[in-house]
Chain A
Amino acid sequence: MFEEASEVFDNMFKSSFPLTFIVFIPAVLILVSPLPAEAAHEFTVYRMQQYDLQGQPYGTRNAILNTEARTVEAEVLSRRCVIMRLVDFSYERYQKALRQSAGAVVIILPKNMSTMPQDIVQQFMELEPEMLATETIVPVYFALEDDELLSIYTQTLTSSSSQGSSSAAEVLIHTATANGFQMVTSGAQSKAVSDWSITSLEGRLAGTGGEDLPTIVLVAHYDSFGVAPWLSYGADSNGSGVSMLLELARLFSRLYTYKRTHAGYNLLFFVSGGGKFNYQGTKRWLEDNLDHTDSSLLQDNVAFVLCLDTLGNGDSLHLHVSKPPKEGTPQYALLKELETVVSSQYPEVKFSMVHKKINLADDTLAWEHERFGIRRLPAFTLSHLNSHREAQRSSIMDVRPHVDLRKLSRNTKLIAEALARVIYNLTEKVKSLVCLCDPLCCVLGQQVQEEQLSSVVDWLTAQPRAAQLVDKDSSVVSTLEYHLGRYLKDVRRHYVKADKRDPEFVFYDQLKQTMNAYRVKPAIFDLLLAVCIAAYLGVIYLAIQHFGVLYSLVRRITAPKTKQH
């Protein structure tokens, strides 16, 4: 039996083609499959935003990538992955890559943003909205730099930029032996996330003395925005607003515990979600409270709505209104109190009112108070920014160092005083709040707690808070709920889901991927290697065929030695 088996093997190896075909080739075909090989480098990449707002698509549409890496200096960019560093980034280069139908763009950001010079940061901040405004089919990714990635970049740079400079022979040798990189992402194509709910939180402090009390609403949106959702930490916009809101909640809840300082105003605090996406949280909350409920604090007597947006820096304070307040109204009182407090206690602050009419023809609303204005509620927004179009409101460069804690706490004290003067109607009575009745003095006198502000801002900026990433089970929402619950009563959640038929907003997934950079050699290299191996085998064959010659040569060399003995 064994002899027959060996004969079969012998035939297979020698000539019989059909037999080899039947046995060998199918086995190879079955086993040929893409295997996960060890990567030269594996790193996390964050995708650019992808969302639809009111039917209009923004951002990049694609997520998959499996292309060779090049830098911008290379001549051929089509279907290649263009790698750029932040220091070399400019809009022209980005456009150049897109025009030449590049396969993908990867932008390498430094690990520590604060090491970058200010002008580059500023320039990038201004470019972010432009990059997002056009819809790109090409996937755009951001990666944080580390040593390996930097070495990959420098290697790609040297091979890309030397393509057009040397002689033909050098180019041939270079292309044959160069070390290329293949960038591959591991995820699937991006698709729309269905049933994403945006969470908002509300809480209240009830006033004393009767039924129909006026209500003051304080609003801040907690989500952040940037060119890449996973990298948008939103320190100033709007981490500062949320921390200020929590601090005001703490102060007024302490005041309202004492009978003497329990005022006749209801205070409603609202932490809204989806703020950067045209204030979806606020919009739905208003609809639910005004249209679908019988009685709500918002339907009755609303004194005014104060929205806090980006207050963590700067020496100016702007009160943005859509309609200048009339004399005798609570809004006018607040405006006057703010002016008084600023001029008497904080002279370094420049305060002004900015009047901007609501323009319903725009794609998105400017400030959060416009949502209330549309529903005929008197509202304004306080911000240190002059215009809503400022790039800092929606940038990934807005990280913790952008918030100056002293200025944030100064602004908090300022606003707390102005609010207290309106609530307790102190205008005619005293010049400054310090020498009023004891509990008030004692509580407000212990001032705004800077450590509390600092820890809230630190916690908020420790994680990305893009609206696509914060779902109803997120720790951000539950921690905010807990904090509000410590000071306020009736803390409730409010959910917003996009309408099925005509969605106001659509979010997409695959925002964070793992990218592998494989070291590859060009195809010519394999051919070159094959030629070398064939030559080597030829030499071996000749050596073995003429082994006798080699043997006699060795004997002739060793023979004289024995003769001498």
Chain B
Amino acid sequence: MENSTSHEIAEHGSLEVPSLIKYISSNEVAGFDSTETATELQFLGPSDKQEIQKDEEKGQGDESVAVNHQRKISISISMPLSPEEVQSHNNGETSLGDGIPNSSSQSNTEGSKPPRQAKCYSQPMPKGHVYPEDTEGRVNFGQNPHINRLKDNRFDPFKTFSGRLERQLSIFRGKPPKQAPAKQENNINNTDRPLTVDRYFDALEGPELETLRASEEAVLPQNERWPFLLRFPISSFGICLGVSSQAILWKTLATSPSTEFLHISLEVNLVLWIISIALVASIFTMYLLKIIIYFEAVRREYYHPIRVNFFFAPWIALLFLALGVPPSLTKYLHHALWYILMVPIFFLELKIYGQWMSGGQRRLSKVANPSNHLSVVGNFVGALLGASMGLKEGPIFFFAVGLAHYTVLFVTLYQRLPTNETLPKELHPVFFLFVAAPSVASMAWARIQDSFDYGSRIAYFIALFLYFSLAVRVNFFRGFKFSLAWWAYTFPMTGAAIATIRYSNQVTNIVTKVLCVILSLISTLTVTALLVSTVLHAFVLKDLFPNDIAIAISDRRRKPHKNRWFPLRHGSSEHSKVIENFLKFSNTEGDGDLEAALKQPSNPFEQH
């Protein structure tokens, strides 16, 4: 006992011991309450904590566990994790002791922050304790009544201001806050340290950087369904792109002189346009909700090297809506609308292109991938819309900027630099984005020059060539898992079809007309197939919005030896034994407790 206490004093060097002992004997808390951990650790400097952690990591299993137990109230099970790992607390409430690691690891990372920001993330809190926060009664034994709240708080780091906003809102609504206002500013990614792009490359793989590598761990539990908004990626705006571009296609088919022989009515355009409006409105609303409630998740999507390009998609979708507006509704759109629509694109561009030029970790040679075309296509679509509205200088501005950056991107992607980690080794539907920029550019130039002149034709033929070279390789597009982002890859096909129709207006002969029909058919069929697929996944397979692993990657790579101590994620039986032992001994009175507690738990581990 003396040893243990002095040991503890030596280790902690603080006045915590008395309260610790008191705490153990008072049995106020059921289960391993590591609020103390938080408490103690907060008084320690980060180096101390680290030292403790290191000690614990290096020590042998039994003793450390015993030591853990004794100050279990201190650090105990948290040890296996590296001090910086904060996310551990978010993992598997299903397994025991996760709460503890949370606190310690969090407190470590929070060491620099004022102590009150703590950790007590999932610890049950005794009343009237020094740290009165957190009475959420999170008992990490997987007891059902708490599971809902468990889930709630697991996702809090992803929420705006880590859940504070939500609580404020619920207070405003008149409901009493569910829990005592917990100081949960334990963002898993301390907001002052955004994820580097290398982290995304290390942790994720796949052509869309969506799948977690085997060696990585996600911050959120993968075997549970996350809240819907958290699963709603920015690539959902691809649906808007796909459908609204179809509206434009059917409008062009109905109004172009060269396709009059098809006798297509404008009704189709009207119906599609209304559907697009509905889709755009609903997806905008949902994503807006996500921004309000889960801002942290949105930030992580923004830092994702591929998802960032999809931030252009909402604005391009709005531009498509303006392009596809049925003639029966309005003939002329106000010029101010164009300026309003282009402002977000302009600012996004300044940021992204500037990063390409000057950013060290996000420079183009490193992050170039076919989705970058989405960043460039916006310029051409804006130029097309502006020119159709009758503006002159603005469209030329965006066309020039788009052309310059498209050249850079095109060369970079064609080079397939060895330093480039994001290019998929195999063909993937994302490659169809290659067709988007030249086809829209050709249409935009034709509008600016008022005729489909040589510049437009050059761009159009480039688009056509790329389309064919991908279409003949359609066999290589097999074997990919359906994802919502595929919708975004349909609009280039539609764009190529529309460009062909415009070209056939200028050069009218049987070849171009046949080409019009074929390309339109392909595009419509693809969209229909995709629609069926989407409906299937949504209602039958119910996995249209799978857990968005890409945003849940951890800050750091886990240390590999963590599993030596506790297979935390999987609720091992040793764990429960440890807890049991603690519980047994926590009930007894007197000094003998600690020693007993020290000695006893070593046994289960000796056995293993």
Task: State yes or no: do A and B come from one complex.
Answer: no
Give the interface of A toward B (CB within 8 A): none
Q: Mark B residues whose CB is within 8 Å of A.
A: none
